[in-house]
Chain A
Amino acid sequence: MSGRPETTARGELRFDTLTLDNGLTIVGELNPRAASVAAGYFVRTGARDEAADVAGVSHFLEHMLFKGTDRRTAADINRSFDELGAQYNAFTSEERTVYYGAVLPERLPQLLDLLSDMMRPALRQDDFDVEKNVILEEIAMYEDRPHFRVFELAGQRFWNGHPLGHSVLGGQASIQALTREQMLAYFQRRYAPSNLALAVSGAYDWEDLTTGVARLTRDWRPYQARRELPPAEPAVGEGRTADGALSRVHAAVFAPGLAATDERRYAAAVLANVLGDDSGSRLFWALVDKGLADSASLGHEASDGAGAFVGYVSAAPERADEVLGSYRRVLLEAQDGALDAEEWRRAQRKLATSLTLRAETPLGRLVSFGAGYQALGRYQSVQELVRAVMSSSVEDGRALLALRPFDRLYLHRLGPDGAES
């Protein structure tokens, strides 16, 4: 092991970190009073790291990590999670792939054994062939969810060739054509120990945890994985996709935002909440409260190297023009009008409550803890996050609006009507 474990005391919860010789970083947030412990491998790889000929491979690979290792079959993995009474799952985004589980504290060593073993999968051909069907079923399932589809359509166009516009699922054709060898090559390139972080939150013993993980991963060969961070040149405008089987218009809205390391991201989150929280926001009062749309929202997504304001609205086709016009007007008027100190404070307080609520359980805390560490390379306690949100000022919000991000909207509508564009 290189160096000595670093331990920082911050208020109630202790933060621990250690980087092993193979390059794997382990981070822990100790809560000795928790009744459970959550652990997850955060892999800095996702759809944005895929070449076009392997579109969807990150997500397919995520499934394959549950299909067995040299020591375990797929059935062994599922049975082991069950024997531990684990709540567990995995997810893939444009940014990262995360494998996680929560157990009672005494079962943490077995959970770490299982998760660590999974990070070195067997990728057997017969498992690959069966799982391909499951992936194709998942793609079909999302085809029936216009709310999801419209984000893929809009994101791809908004990002305008930037890798953040890649589809997480890939397409029928790219998945059909994908071979095990292509997946293996991707895995070997991306799952370098230094490209992974193991995050643990809840009740644990740091000494036991790090000794155990060092032993479990001692055969991992150190190497580097790089991510391309090209500049983003987002598209502006409007697009349409017609689907006669739909009965509503679903629209996704993108506007340029801030990267995960930008200090103004907290103000961007508060601003998005003022404009588009699902209750009490400007979009809520303009559209949902009036019964013009059943959903109208806006959030801010801060990613690696770039970010975006991302919104959604759905309406009846005969009312879509009016509703989309109002949606757009709410955002433009925010740029031209005044931002009220009271509405800013309400949004801050709602966000602070949400952060505190999520931290009630180790599993609820894990993703923000692990992803936050991975994005920034440093620890942020819940208290620090709450402080950051509460100290962003209405002037910070006004400064963001002065950049006029909503002059550069991209809006895509998916519905029964209209020509393709």
Chain B
Amino acid sequence: MSSPQNSDTIYQHRFENGVWLLFEPMPWLPTLSASLLLPFGSSTDPEGHEGSGAVLHDWIQRGAGTLDSRAHSDALEGLGVRRGGGAGREAASLSASFLADELPEVLPLVASMGSEPRLDEGEFAPARELALEELASLSDAPTQRLFNALMERFLDGGPGRSPFGTQEGLAELTPASVREDAGRRLGPAGAILALAGGAEWDRVLDAAQRALAGWQGGAAALPAARLRPPGREHVHADSAQTQIGVAFAAPPPGDADVYTFDLGLHVLSGSMGSRLFTEVREKRGLVYSVGAHYRALHGFGYTLGYAGTTPERADETLRVLLEEIRRLSRGVEADELERARVGTLSSMVMQGESSGARAGRLASDALLQGRARTLEEIRRAVEAVELDALNDYLAAHPFPEPTVVTLGPRPLSQEAAA
């Protein structure tokens, strides 16, 4: 599938201090996107200080280098930069999209939030206050609450923790404790800077060299994800719908089976023609929203399934959801695989047209797999999956017993998940 926009080059450089720079040129674009991953997340928050990473992520955006919070923000915005990012389980991200000509001005401003944040005393209290506000907001967001509860029930220890932290953990934080945390976790080792868009590698490398090469510091090791025994849990909420979440382990990122598994999952839930959408929504009208998606942490893959429905239909919805998940081990038809393959390849090409999507994928590949993949490598791997191999895989790896968490006005009957 050749297209005028295929590029199969990913440039990489590791600076001596450990920062990993990746760049994918998209010379036809006037724009450039950057994604900076910093190696601290809720999974390595200090015990009793849950939410320290979330506060640190906010605090480093409140002034860096010679610029205070307001001056730093005005400088970025004066260059027309669109910013994003968030505090995650394994890494905190800062992203920026801008006109490519502004690269030499923008990159130092972005990089300095990682390499030389001011962490001014006066900015600590509002940063923590905002983290508390965001945590409190979750109580009016049932779907997000469900997924936080599901991950906590599914995984043991750090990796199961919510990136928002806890009220108790946030209350314990002081400027000194978060600075100490930054000294331990916010360093160039493990930091990833990925860019994609309309620039040349020489310019990118030069700008990154100037912005990042002087950064010194350490980084915390990521804990391995450990599963809790599967089980069920209900969280009470006075909501109109019951939220249903299921989680089970899947091949780890980088594993040779990921492409095979992913095509199987696409048959289950990749589109409006998929099995879940057809059986749960189209035939039975049980839900508006239903799906199952592959997710990954460093060295660990898992699948999250979701459905939202009114309480009286929740039992039937969970039953059909689990039936369809289990039925996958009996194999898929040739035409189902072909549709999944066409959908996967075509969406890859389309996402490849966006600089933000490409920079994001480069950064997450680097974090999760320790290597970057070209679109061409992914295409070849997806095309190589044969029907027999997929069906053998699905038969040999039936979906394990899931963890099921529901959130709503009343628990489901036990039979629904049996």
Contact = CB atoms under 8 A, between A and B. Distances in A.
Interface of A: 32-36, 66, 74-75, 78-79, 81-87, 102-104, 130-138, 140-141, 143-147, 203, 244-248, 250, 279-280, 285, 288-295, 314-316, 342, 345-346, 349-350, 352-354, 356-357, 360-364
B367 interface: no
A137 B310 contact: yes
Contacts of A292: 129, 133
A23 B142 CA distance: 46
Contacts of A350: 77, 80-82
Top 3 closest pairs, chain A to chain B, by CB = A291-B129, A85-B346, A349-B80
11 contacts: A33-B4, A78-B271, A78-B277, A84-B342, A84-B346, A134-B281, A137-B310, A246-B140, A279-B73, A285-B70, A350-B81
Contacts of B133: 291-294, 315-316
Interface residues of B, number: 78
A349 B282 contact: no
B396 interface: no
A60 to B, nearest CB: 12
A338 B131 CA distance: 32
Nearest to A243: B238
Contact of B342 (A83, A134, A315, A357): A83
A353 B5 contact: no
Interface in B84-142: 97-99, 125-134, 136-137, 139-142
A34 B353 contact: yes
Contacts of B285: 130-134, 137
Interface string B368-409: 000000000000000000000000000000000000000000
Contact of B282 (A74, A104, A248): A74
A145 B145 CA distance: 12
B395 to A, nearest CB: 24
B354 interface: yes
A35 B352 contact: yes
B353 A361 contact: yes
Given A133-B285, A291-B129, A342-B78, A141 B69 contact: no
Contacts of A147: 140
Contact of B353 (A79, A146, A345, A362): A362
B350 A248 contact: no
Contacts of A354: 82
A349 B78 contact: yes
B99 A353 contact: yes
A192 B140 CA distance: 42
Interface centre among B1, B4, B97, B133 (most CB of A within 10 A): B133
A153 B187 CA distance: 48
Contacts of A353: 31, 80-82, 97-99
A33 B5 contact: yes
Given A138-B288, A141-B289, A288-B130, 20 more contacts: A66-B272, A78-B277, A81-B272, A82-B339, A82-B343, A134-B281, A141-B288, A143-B240, A144-B143, A146-B140, A203-B4, A245-B238, A248-B139, A279-B73, A289-B126, A289-B130, A293-B133, A342-B74, A342-B78, A352-B80
B225 interface: no
Contacts of B78: 342, 345-346, 349
